[in-house]
């Protein structure tokens, strides 16, 4: 009697074989940029607590071309993350009905995108006004 070797399923790159999983992993990886950006903002608050000179040095570091490129990439990553978040949102909600008719998924996503855009514009206007 021969001993059979156990089947070992290869797991390397499983998410690259299916476009759905590929988009999912890209969306999850985009959250890393958000985390790094949060650390950068926390460093700014810490530098602000150290005084004007430390805060100005932090601002000068943000004017570095590499920092500007990072912020551009982070903006795109966070925008993609938010877009996909609102796109998935209708699938996680129970079916919503208004007047006996089911609300289409695209309508729910569009409302989320519009709210996200409106909130972003309001924050931008407030920051530019200060």
Q: How is the chain split into domains, by residue range? A: 15-129
Give the angle subtended at the CA of 38 by the CAs of 109 and 70, to the nearest 5°.
Answer: 85
pLDDT digits (tens, 9 = 90+) for 38-84: 999 999 999 999 999 999 999 999 999 999 999 999 999 988 888 88
Q: Is-above-0.75 flag for pTM?
A: no
| Spatial CB neighbours of 87, under 8 Å, sequence gap ≥ 6 | 109
Q: Which CATH class is domain 15-129?
A: mainly alpha
pLDDT digits (tens, 9 = 90+) for 99-116: 888 888 888 889 888 998
Q: Show contacts of 82-86: CB within 8 Å, 24+ apart.
A: 82/116, 83/113, 84/23, 84/27, 85/27, 85/112, 86/112, 86/113, 86/116
């Amino acid at each position: 009697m021969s001993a059979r070797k156990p089947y070992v399923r290869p797991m390397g790159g499983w998410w690259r074989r299916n476009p759905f999983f590929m988009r999912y992993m890209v969306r999850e990886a985009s959250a890393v940029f958000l985390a790094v950006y949060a650390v950068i903002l926390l460093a700014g608050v810490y530098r602000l607590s150290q005084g004007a000179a430390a805060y100005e040095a932090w601002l000068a570091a943000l004017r570095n071309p590499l920092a500007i490129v990072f912020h551009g990439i982070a903006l795109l990553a966070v925008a993609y993350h938010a877009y996909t978040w609102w796109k998935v949102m209708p699938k996680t909600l129970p079916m919503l009905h208004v007047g006996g008719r089911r609300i289409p998924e695209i309508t729910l996503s569009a409302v989320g995108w519009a709210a996200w855009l409106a909130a972003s514009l309001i924050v931008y206007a407030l920051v530019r006004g200060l």
